[in-house]
């Protein structure tokens, strides 16, 4: 097995986040588990692990991200991989009815969180000579849909941020890419869509494998890619 790396996963207590944490832990990496509160994190990860660091962090607050990254740096030194899994979804308003609260909430969760974490992690990666950043957008963000304008705009912004970061950082040996999940096979999605064909959805573990690839040396020549991972849906 290759050398253990320091990995940060945001939104780690969610279904996809847990799968991503599991992927890197199986590889032997040290994983910093970031989510909104200690309670959420401990519920998702009740068993302690020597190679796991639990860090509560409000990603919408820049200073909270600074404190969280400093905790990881003090514990492990290098941060080799940043997986920006955290995000949010709100549906129900037409574009002309979109409230400031909806717009701000979605852009805070889906884009500002990436900018805040990048502002703290990228300088560390530059000093250490490289790293990997993987963001999570959405396959649905490739086009517009009714009553999803704010959400899709925020996830489309993730693609543009990924492309911009890749151009800015590729010469520092930092790869920045993102995935575009289709419908993820989670308990919540099954509850919300009980009549759908769940066999066509993407298991979180499959998405984690793609994220793991983008965070690996095998993807060293991949920069600014937005990779659809939609299963059979």
3-state secondary structure 130-145: CEEEEEECCHHHHCCC
**Cα 68 to Cα 116: distance, rounded to the nearest angstrom:** 11
- N-to-C CA span, the chain: 35
Tens digit of pLDDT for each residue in 120-168?
Answer: 999 999 999 999 999 999 999 999 999 999 999 999 999 999 999 999 9
pTM of the model: 0.94
| Nearest residue to 133 via CA among 87, 174, 88 | 174
Query: For residue 20, which of 85, 117, 81, 105 has the smallest C-alpha distance?
Result: 85
* Residues 75, 60, 28, 225, Cα dihedral to 10°: -130
Q: pLDDT tens, 81-118? A: 999 999 998 887 899 999 999 999 999 999 999 999 99
Assess contact for 57 and 34: CB atoms under 8 A: yes
Comparing C-alpha atoms, which of 141, 181, 188, 145 is closest to residue 161?
Answer: 141
């Amino acid at each position: 097995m290759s050398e253990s790396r320091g990995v940060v996963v945001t939104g780690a207590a969610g279904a996809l986040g847990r799968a991503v944490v599991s992927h890197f832990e199986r590889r032997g990496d040290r994983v910093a588990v970031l989510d909104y509160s200690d309670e959420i994190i401990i519920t998702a990860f009740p068993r302690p692990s020597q190679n796991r660091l639990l860090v509560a962090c409000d990603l919408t607050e820049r200073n909270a991200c600074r404190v969280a990254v400093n905790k990881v740096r003090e514990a492990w030194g290098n941060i080799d991989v940043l997986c920006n899994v955290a995000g949010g979804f709100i549906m129900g308003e037409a574009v002309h009815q979109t409230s400031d609260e909806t717009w701000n909430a979605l852009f805070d969760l889906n884009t500002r969180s990436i900018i805040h974490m990048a502002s703290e992690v990228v300088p560390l990666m530059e000093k250490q000579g490289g790293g990997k950043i993987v963001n999570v957008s959405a396959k649905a963000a490739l086009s517009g849909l009714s009553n999803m304008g704010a959400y899709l705009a925020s996830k489309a912004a993730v693609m543009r941020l990924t492309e911009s970061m890749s151009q800015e950082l590729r010469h520092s040996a930092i790869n920045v890419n993102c995935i575009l999940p289709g419908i993820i096979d989670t308990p919540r999605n099954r509850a919300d869509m009980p009549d759908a064909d769940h066999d066509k959805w993407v298991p979180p573990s499959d998405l984690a494998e793609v994220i793991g690839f983008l965070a690996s040396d095998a993807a060293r020549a991949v920069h600014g890619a937005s990779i659809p991972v939609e299963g059979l849906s």
